[in-house]
């Protein structure tokens, strides 16, 4: 279980409170107005922002003081997640070994991860030689290899067209099901939330609310959320 226990995250004068927990394997959409603190929430869980108050636990273990790399967490951001000068295989290999000293077994795992995301045999290419959708798949392959139980997605496919975005969300869903990962995904698109996430966290007015069932929330949103959804 991932638990946010009386957590308060601050960035400058901005503050966000969160006090809830999610079961392992849950899929959560994180929605709310621009600037409300969705990325702040993810960065707090990932360890890029230290909470001013409270603690974050994973399976009962306090992870609040751990560096990002030591947390049971992988993050996929919206911006390009790849190094342009490294081959696709080496970009993926970074998920296994940041020093890129990959032995034969590591290389086989990289190739298997590329095959899993539908890019078999593409390892020698540079990211610039791939389409946007293929680059998203490479970033996903790296996350897959890291095998962390919590996956944080910050609008990772916002730059893709609707059909490609649906395809990528379906792929993330399949991979999350296979690995049992807990997934939190920031999105501005209610359709993504419906398609991908059984539960939704609404971030607004300085609070990341406890997750609630996505369908009923979007069918009959509270006033503040209704304004945001338009
Ligand atoms: N480095 C920073 N220093 C000070 N304030 C910051 C910093 N980064 C973000 N903020 C403020 O924190 C608040 C929350 O930002 P955050 O990026 O978490 O919002 P968001 O909900 O993810 O927005 P969007 O949907 O636009 O990406 C904003 O008011 C922002 O101005």
DSSP for 185-220 reads: EE-S-HHHHHHH-SEEEEEETTEEPPPEEHHHHHHS
Q: Is the CB of 187 under 6 A from ligand 1?
A: no
Whether residues 106 and 163 share a domain: the answer is no
pLDDT number for residue 223? 81
pLDDT number for residue 80? 64
Q: Over the stretch 137-155, which tens digit does the pLDDT of each residue have? A: 999 899 888 889 999 999 8
Q: Which amino acid residue places its CA nearest to atom 9 of ligand 1?
A: 11
How many angstroms separate the CA atoms of 56 and 1, rounded?
Answer: 10
Q: Which amino acid residue places its CA nearest to atom 14 of ligand 1?
A: 37
pLDDT over threshold 80, residue 209 = yes
Whether residues 86 and 66 share a domain: the answer is no
The share of the chain scoring above pLDDT 90, in percent, equals: 67
Residue 222 confidence class, pLDDT cut points 50, 70, 90? confident
Q: Is the CB of 13 under 6 A from ligand 1?
A: no
In a domain, 217, yes or no: yes
Whether residues 159 and 220 share a domain: the answer is yes
Residue 42 alpha carbon, nearest atom of ligand 1: 18
Residue among 13, 35, 185 to mutate when testing ligand 1 (max atoms within 8 A of CB): 35
Nearest to 41 by CA among 155, 212, 145, 177: 155
Residue 200 confidence class, pLDDT cut points 50, 70, 90? very high
Domain of 44 in residue numbering reads as: 2-72+148-229
Among 97, 127, 146, the domain boundary falls at 146
Whether residues 48 and 7 share a domain: the answer is yes
The whole-model pTM stands at 0.92
Among 95, 111, 146, the domain boundary falls at 146
The total domain count for the chain is: 2
Among 102, 124, 146, the domain boundary falls at 146
Place of tokens 């009386």: 6
Q: Which amino acid residue places its CA nearest to atom 24 of ligand 1?
A: 34
Residue 186 alpha carbon, nearest atom of ligand 1: 22
In a domain, 160, yes or no: yes
> Where does residue 198 rank: exposed (0-12), middle (13-18), buried (19+ CB within 10 A)?
middle
CATH number of the CATH domain containing 183? 3.40.50.300
Reported in sequence order, the residue ranges of 117-181 that DSSP labels E, i.e. its strands, are 150-154
The ipTM estimated for the assembled molecules is: 0.96
88 Cα distance to chain centroid: 20
């Amino acid at each position: 279980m991932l638990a946010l226990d009386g957590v308060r995250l601050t960035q400058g004068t901005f503050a966000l409170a969160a006090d809830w927990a999610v079961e392992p394997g849950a899929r959560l959409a994180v929605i709310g107005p621009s600037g409300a603190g969705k990325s702040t929430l993810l960065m707090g869980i990932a360890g890029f922002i230290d909470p001013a108050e409270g603690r974050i636990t994973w399976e009962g273990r306090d992870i609040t003081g751990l560096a990002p790399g030591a947390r049971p967490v992988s993050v996929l951001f919206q911006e390009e997640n790849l190094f342009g000068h490294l081959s696709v295989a080496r970009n993926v290999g970074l998920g296994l070994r940041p020093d890129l000293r990959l032995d034969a077994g590591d290389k086989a795992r990289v190739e298997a991860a590329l095959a899993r995301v539908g890019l078999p045999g593409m390892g020698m290419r540079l990211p610039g030689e791939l389409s946007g959708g293929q680059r998203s798949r490479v970033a996903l392959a790296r996350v897959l290899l890291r095998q962390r139980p919590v996956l944080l997605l910050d609008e990772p496919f916002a730059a893709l067209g609707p059909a490609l975005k649906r395809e990528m969300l379906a792929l993330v869903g399949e991979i999350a099901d296979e690995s049992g990962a807990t997934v939190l995904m920031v999105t501005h698109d209610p359709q993504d939330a419906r398609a991908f996430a059984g539960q939704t966290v609404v971030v607004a007015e300085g609070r990341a609310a406890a997750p609630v069932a996505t369908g009923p929330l979007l069918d009959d949103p509270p006033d503040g959320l209704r304004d945001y959804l338009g």
